[in-house]
Structure 1
Amino acid sequence: MSEIVYEFEDILEQIQHTLATEDKQQFREIFFENHTYDQAQIYLSLTLEERKLAYQFLTPEEMAMVFELLEEDVEDVEKYLSEMDEAYVSRMLAEMYSDNAVDVLKQVGEENVRTYLRLMPHKTATELRQLLNYDDDTAGAMMTTEFIYVHESDTLKTAMSTVKRFAEDAETIYYVYVTDDENHLTGILTLKDLIVKPDEKLVKDI
């Protein structure tokens, strides 16, 4: 265990040296030699001034990978976001999985949330706004927009049209979430159901 700690401290020292000398190329080489989890730990170990340089050395897309892990462990996420340019934060959040981005936004003041969403691509901002408005016990809180869901009163024909419309961005099309009027999860539909059952049949009757 002590060897692992020593190794991390050695890596952190190297990273801090590259920041002190403003050596972007060396910083990136050392930083990306490490696993994403270790990158997050390195980030958390930096001082404010060091982090500000790191934002210049890393793209928002690269920082998004760090924040995918960071949001689960860090309470004061808003403090870190406030250190970044608003456009940088917006691009970073847009690159994250939607449920993780929402977890981050829930820790941020409403005014900042509006700013970040306004700077995002319209489609991404719309998805995040939708998820932010769900209560914790709704299907939306349990799912991400990488999954497809249909209403229980839809016909199978309508449900299949929904699957086709969102298939390209979905994590899977083999299982579709079913919700009621209050957006509570009521069941799961399989792609096989949509294919073999009559088009006019209602989802809730499957």
Structure 2
Amino acid sequence: MVKLNEETRAAYSQYLLDLLQDGEDTVFRSKFLDLHPVDQVEVVHQMKEEDRTRFYAIMTSAELADIFEELELEEQKDMALEWENGNMSDVFHHMNADDVADFLGELEEEERENILTGMEDEDAEDVKELLAYEEETAGAIMTKELIHLHEAEKVGDVLGRLREEAPDAEMIYYLYVVDESEKLTGVVSLRDLMVASLDEKVGDVMSRRVVSVHVNDDQENVAQLIQKYDFLAAPVVSAHNQLLGIVTVDDVIDVFEEEATEDLAEFSTTRGATDANISAFQAARKRTPWIILLMFFGMITAGIIGQFEETLEQVVLLSAFIPMLMGSAGNVGTQSLAVVVRGLALGNFERKGLFRALVREFGTGLMIGIACALALLAMIPLFYDGNLFLGFIVGFSIFISLGIAAVIGSIVPLIINQLNLDPAIASGPFITTFIDVVSITIYFSIATMLLQFL
């Protein structure tokens, strides 16, 4: 297989395109198929419409299937539009059922049915089954292409069967054993089979301690389980422990990427607007309502400052520290929010306890507050004519504010999680706005009480 670096990729891609345009089909196929599928996709990206028409004609359905699986969803849609339904069905026949289901799930029902009608009955049934599961569950991301073993089979017979069936299976490193009712009874690794005697039975080689996931389990929980045990795959079972499919590590990587993108979007209030393929208008349409909402929340902060107008009139200098105080408290709150949301996502708090986590975050906020207060006590008198008491007011306010900000940033996502909602919706901007209100109230309350000493 040819491996390309950044310097040679562009030149080699152009060389392949020249071969295609010159009608050197045999040479093109040989050179093109020697590339990694990811590099093949980059060559396809550079093809013009007439190049792609010729390309489709000289490639087999199985070869096109490998390329199709590497494309992003929008690119898959564009490529599918250039095919006839019959060609699409042939290509999908060579793809894993879960990859086909992912694509068809994004199409209109009429388009989906037209494609399913053209597929072989067995393939179509597998895809329909996957489409029937609720999104973001183990059933929706599992694959049906796996090899079942039975306890009574001999190791030698299994190895012979693997030579025939392995090319169509998604994963053969783990092989799952079922009984007559298709209930999961054990697991055996390919390594165990290779070192076992050919006359031994699978039941004597396999392990009965199987870690499985339920078909309706959340995909994030499935991904965490596979990460926890360092599995390459996990079996998916029904309520009656019947083996339905497997979730593989490549699916888990996609899940982590999807969940991380979703959490980032929630944190930054850009949900639905993180896709680079949408237009500026679409992105603005999704993001503007959040900005307007946060703007109105910001008016609450302005209203609180207005309540302390008399204090500000007497010591105008107090207003100079408002941005610093709000920014510092907001940053600490957002940090605590990120720590707690990440801990909830990884299940860390189940092992270490919620109370311990809250105490740690509160202590962290107070320690940061002490450090900031001491720094302000040293700097403010230096820059503001030796006004030590002003430094004390600002320093004490920031000490209290940062401790409370850490608690707010920790508690809010925990409350949301207890309501069975995604804790990431306690996004940074909302937490920051709430903390702004609290910190400003603390600041001016302390300043008002101690105004006589300024």
**Fold similarity call, TM over 0.5:** yes
Q: How far off is 1:120 after superposition?
A: 1.0
Pairs within 5 Å for 1:154-165: 160-163=179-182
| Aligned pairs for 1:26-41 within 5 A | 26-41=27-42
Residue matched to 1:47:
48
- Check conservation: 2:68, 2:76, Cα contact below 8 A: no
Give 1:130 shift. 1.1
Which residue number in structure 1 is paired with residue 116 of structure 2? 117
Residue 144 of structure 2: SS of its match in structure 1?
A: coil
Spell out the pairing of 1:64-83 with structure 2 (5 A cutoff).
64-70=65-71, 73-83=72-82
- Corresponding position: 1:143 with 2:142: yes
**For structure 1, which segment, 3-12 or 47-56, has the greater mean C-alpha deviation from structure 2 after superposition?**
3-12
Identity of aligned residues (%): 25
SS of alignment partner, residue 136 of structure 1: coil
> How many Å separate the matches in 2 of 1:74 and 1:130?
21
In structure 2, relative to structure 1, the CA distance for the partners of 1:176 and 1:145 (3 Å cut) is farther
| Equivalent residue for 2:216, pick from 178, 181, 184 | 184
Q: Offset at 1:41?
A: 1.4
Q: 2: distance between equivalents of 1:34 and 1:114?
A: 34
Q: Which amino acid aligns with 1:87?
A: G
Provide the C-alpha distance between the structure 1 equivalents of 2:139 and 2:9, rounded to a whole number of angstroms: 39
For the residues of structure 2 that align with 1:48 and 1:162, how far apart are their CA atoms?
51
Question: Please, what is the CA RMSD of the aligned residues?
Answer: 3.1
Change (3 A) 1:22 1:176: farther
The code of the aligned residue for 1:50 comes to D
Matches of 2:51 and 2:181 in 1, distance apart?
Answer: 47
What do the CA deviations read for 1:19-57 (whole angstroms, capped 9, x no partner)? Answer: 212221121011012111111111122112111111001
Is 1:88 the equivalent of 2:107?
A: no
CA distance 1:138–1:19, change in 2 (3 Å): same
Q: Distance in 2 between matches of 1:147 and 1:107?
A: 25
Aligned-residue offset at 1:178: 6.0
User: Residues 46 and 107 from structure 1, CA distance in 2 versus in 1: closer, same or farther, beyond 3 angstroms?
Assistant: farther
Select between 21-30 and 107-116 the one with higher mean Cα deviation.
Answer: 107-116
The runs of 5 or more residues in structure 1 that have no matched partner are 149-158, 165-172, 189-201
Question: What does residue 126 of structure 1 align with?
Answer: 125
Equivalent position SS for 1:144: coil
Does the C-alpha gap of structure 1 residues 34 and 137 become closer, same or farther in structure 2, counting only changes over 3 Å? closer
1:176 deviation in Å? 8.0
Query: How far apart in 1 are the matches of 2:132 and 2:44?
Result: 31
Shift of 1:177: 4.8
Q: Which runs of 5+ in 2 are unaligned?
A: 148-177, 184-205, 226-239, 242-454
Q: CA deviation at 1:133?
A: 1.7
CA contact 2:134–2:140 (8 Å) conserved in 1: yes
Q: Please say if residues 73 and 103 of structure 2, whose CA atoms lie closer than 8 Å, have aligned partners that are also in contact.
A: no
Give the Å deviation of 1:131.
0.7
Structure 1: distance between partners of 2:211 and 2:51: 45
* 1:11 corresponds to 2:12: yes
| 8 Å contact kept, 1:77–1:107 | no
Aligned to 2:74, the other structure's residue is in SS state coil
Aligned length: 167
CA distance in 2, matches of 1:140, 1:60: 27
Q: Which has the larger radius of gyration?
A: 2
Q: Which residue of 2 aligns with 1:198?
A: none
TM-score after normalising by structure 2: 0.33
Q: In structure 1, what is the Cα distance between the partners aligned to 2:217 and 2:100?
A: 22
Task: Kindly state the Cα deviation for residue 147 of structure 1 after the two structures are TM-superposed.
Answer: 5.2
* Cα distance in 1 between the residues matched to 2:120 and 2:73: 27
Relative distance call for 1:37 and 1:78 in structure 2 (3 A) is: same
Structure richer in helix, relative to its length = 2
| Corresponding residue for residue 58 of structure 2 | 57
Give deviations 1:173-196, integer Å, cap 9, x for gaps: 9758564xxx524999xxxxxxxx
Distance 1:74 1:43 in 2: 15
1:177–1:185 Cα contact (<8 Å) kept: no
* Separation in structure 2 between the aligned mates of residue 117 and residue 176 of structure 1, nearest angstrom: 33
